[in-house]
Amino acid sequence: MSQRLLPGTTPAQGPRELTLGVMGGGQLGRMFVHAAQTMGYFTAVLDPDALSPAGRVSHHHIQTGYTDPAGLQELAERCVAITTEFENVPAQALAQLAASRPVSPSAAAVGIAQDRAAEKAHFVRCGVPCAPYAVIETQAQLDAVPDNLLPGILKTARMGYDGKGQARVRTRAELQEAWASMQQVPCVLEKMLPLQLECSVIVARGADGQCVHLPVQRNLHRDGILAVTEVYEGNLPPALAQRAQAAAKSIAEGLGYVGVLCVEFFVLDDSHPQAQGLGGLVVNEMAPRPHNSGHYSLDACDISQFELQVRTLAQLPLTPPRQHSAAVMLNLLGDIWPANGVPAWDQVLALPGAHLHLYGKANASKGRKMGHLTFTGASAADVRATALQAAAILGIEAF
């Protein structure tokens, strides 16, 4: 990209339609579209679902598959720059778009994030510790797995998210059985480590190499899906938070990354023998896009992760986001929807500091992300107490 893409009007020409495109029509695309429109841009979404959350609010919805040549050509013709809202958009489609339009993140970066083996290798190159692992693509590689990697977690190398494509294995027999159940596709076996908690860091890196980050997010997952994010001063020891931020920036810089990147980490129980020598912090995975754990930034920061996504795409200046309120975010899954009706939003919105975000999805189902609820306030104690009240109202397990 050779110049900044400024929205708005020109005195001589009047209004102009400067359109930013996004591959994918889910809730992350929807929030990107909202941010872009707030800043004066037009938007276009490519997604095959006629009722996609992002497509329903965008100026243009190209309803087609992600590899459809005609659809990709139309997106390129409509847009001045294009991004993606989830990591499983085919990397080759992004490469095709990049032949005529600026695309960020790049197809190469997304391709690495789509393959756990390539991702792990990138972490190692960047000097960022990850759990001991082995790549399994053949029976011989499975037979050669070191004993000290068990018990472990077997993960498909591609297409796994929100706990999908994973199995815990304690013995070689269970490992063999799990790999067979996964149709013997390429996998990564990770050593199971004693976890104390999980956290994530969201960075935004511009084409000029400038890099900023949001505060470190402390996360709680249930059944492989993010349930709660807590962000406030003291949510993690300062030295640990600084290490996580530095590691996330190193990973982004190693990719030559442009865009918003989330890096997830495990904080280890240092007292456990299996955690020795790993420094108390290991990287889990990265997501080449905004992330569920960063949604609180819409209400608790002066610049959200989605505005950062717009800024990196349009090559606008990146200023360090400032968190102005302590925040707790609850993920709203379809599990909490009554059989006939909706959750008690009136009771929830009666609580101080409540911010409800629903994604416009028509049908609620178990495990489906329907929205999120963020509580902001002056202190961590206040927002945690209020968020726990909301959890009780909605039937969400306490944390």
- 202-216 pLDDT, tens digit each: 999 999 999 999 999
Name the domain boundary from 191, 209, 241: 191
Residue tagged 């609850």 (tokens): 330
What's the pTM value of the predicted model, to 2 decimals? 0.94
- Give residue 163's pLDDT band: very low, low, confident or very high (50, 70, 90): low
Q: Is 205 contained in some domain? A: yes
Range of the domain at 163: 132-191
> Is residue 213 within 8 Å of residue 202, measured between CB atoms?
yes
Please give the pLDDT value at position 3: 80
* 115 part of a folded domain: no
The residues pairing with 302 across neighbouring beta strands, listed in sequence order, are: none
pLDDT at 292 over 60: yes
Over residues 260-270, mean pLDDT: 94
Looking at residue 270, what is its pLDDT?
78
Residue 151 scores a pLDDT above 70: yes
Say yes or no: 236 and 347 in one domain.
yes
Q: Does residue 123 belong to any structural domain of this protein?
A: no
280: left (phi over 0), alpha (psi -120 to 50) or beta: left
pLDDT, one tens digit per residue, over 65-108 is: 999 999 999 999 999 999 999 988 999 999 999 999 999 999 99
Q: Which pLDDT tens digit goes with each residue over 302-345?
A: 999 999 999 999 999 999 999 999 999 999 999 999 988 999 99
Binding site, annotated residues: 116, 155, 160-166, 190-193, 198, 221, 284-285
Same domain, 88 and 183: no
Same domain as 363, residue 225: yes
Q: Is residue 120 part of a domain?
A: no
Asked if the model's pLDDT at residue 161 lies above 80, the reply is: no
Query: What CATH number corresponds to the domain at position 379?
Result: 3.30.470.20
* Sign of the CA dihedral with 52 first, then 336, 195, and 158 last: negative
361 and 376 housed in the same domain: yes
Q: Is residue 14 part of a domain?
A: yes
Cα 84 to chain centroid, rounded: 11
Percent of the chain with pLDDT strictly greater than 90? 90
Q: What is the mean pLDDT of the chain?
A: 94
Q: How far is it, in rounded angstroms, from Cα 261 to Cα 390?
A: 30
Give the CA-trace dihedral at 68, 309, 106, 112, to 10 degrees.
-100
Known binding residues for ATP: 116, 155, 160-166, 190-193, 198, 221, 284-285
Residue 399 lies inside a defined structural domain of this protein: no
Q: Are both 182 and 210 inside the same structural domain?
A: no
Sequence-distant (6+) residues with CB within 8 A of 338 are none
Does the pLDDT value for residue 117 go beyond 60?
Answer: yes
The reply to whether 25 and 149 lie within a common domain is no
Q: Does 354 map to a domain?
A: yes
> 50-64, 119-133, 149-163: which range is least confident on average?
149-163
39 and 33 Cβ atoms separated by less than 8 Å: no
Query: The CATH number of the domain where 152 resides is what?
Result: 3.30.1490.20
The answer on 330 and 239 residing in a single domain is yes
Among residues 145, 166, 191, which one ends one of the domains?
Answer: 191
Residue 277 scores a pLDDT above 90? no
| The pair of three-digit structure tokens given for residue 107, joined into one six-digit string | 């197809």
Q: Quick one: 180 and 201 in the same domain?
A: no
Rounded to an integer, the average pLDDT of 215-225 is 96
Q: What is the mean pLDDT of residues 186-214?
A: 96
Are the CB atoms for 211 and 258 separated by under 8 Å?
no
pLDDT > 60? residue 14: no
260 and 303, same domain (yes or no): yes
Helix (H, G, I), strand (E, B) or coil at 123: helix
pLDDT of residue 9: 63
The pLDDT of residue 40: 95
Q: Which residues contact 319 (CB under 8 A, 6 or more apart)?
A: 212, 303
Q: Give the total number of structural domains in the chain.
A: 3
* Res. 15: pLDDT tops 90: no
Q: Is 310 found in the same domain as 374?
A: yes
Residues 86 and 185 in one domain: no
Identify whether residues 68 and 151 lie together within a single domain. no
In a domain, 118, yes or no: no
